Homo-oligomer: A and B are copies of this chain.
């Protein structure tokens, strides 16, 4: 089937192709009666103006690049789904880019993003400082989600990770826990690092030791044996996926949660709230953070000259059954 072109519409409407093009362009100027003729002809012929072709004129494609570091955390699909929904409601489509959680892939991903006519970028990934020039060269509105730009050049929406870690740790200490093991996230991960700093602050002398995790369920499961060998009374995991892995690992070792050891997560994921896990965790207000990210991005598209904002959300303790605070 031959595709209906703007020339077909122009012919049927008895106007110029340029009039058709202007009718379907944002801000294109065209006389009211010409516009009416074009729309009638377009409807009759089933004409679909190609938004990508149009984007070459208007500079708007309707697409937003979402860059996520697909770590093995099971939280990422939840973030992607919420972002897709929020962008959809804002009339934008999500074009997805993965970095595999490897900071050395960021450069390749930024080059990829640069090849597409996206209206903006939402990134949940870490950028090395030397990538700043590359990001500037993309010349697109950008919002960092759960990453902060220390120079304030790029907008960001974050949750108070350090404070959250400290609050959760202090709550454990106040509840009488004095031998607390930590399971960290990936070393080069912004969120993991800040949560850990907060936890260490809040624990003080109640901190026994820290084992290295990678945010995956499996790294939690596999660490269970080594974690209990230190005879802790609580295990703080720097995300929910690892906490679920630790709990399953402890189940397998016959160690009872919370009777023998308390376990806490971090995220407030849907998975962690499942009744059979019912994690005590520090919950980020993820839907709000996602909505704010999309709103900031749309704001930057509409007013490119305003200085980028940084929004800081406060999370909240969610007390489940794995640590009855």
Contact = CB atoms under 8 A, between A and B. Distances in A.
Interface of A: 1, 3, 46, 48-53, 55-56, 61-63, 70, 74, 76-78, 80-81, 84-85, 88, 93-98, 111-112, 114-117, 136-137, 139, 244, 247-248, 251-252, 270-271, 274-277
Contacts of A137: 1, 46
Task: Give the oligomeric copy count.
Answer: 2
Contacts of A93: 95-97, 112, 116
The 8 closest A-B pairs by CB, nearest first: A77-B77, A248-B275, A276-B276, A51-B115, A48-B114, A52-B117, A94-B96, A77-B81
A62 to B, nearest CB: 8
A248 to B, nearest CB: 4
Contacts of A53: 56, 117
Given A95-B94, A248-B274, A276-B251, A50 B84 contact: no
A96 B94 CA distance: 6
B111 A48 contact: yes
A252 B112 CA distance: 50
Nearest to A115: B51
Contacts of A114: 48
B274 A244 contact: yes
Contacts of A94: 95-96
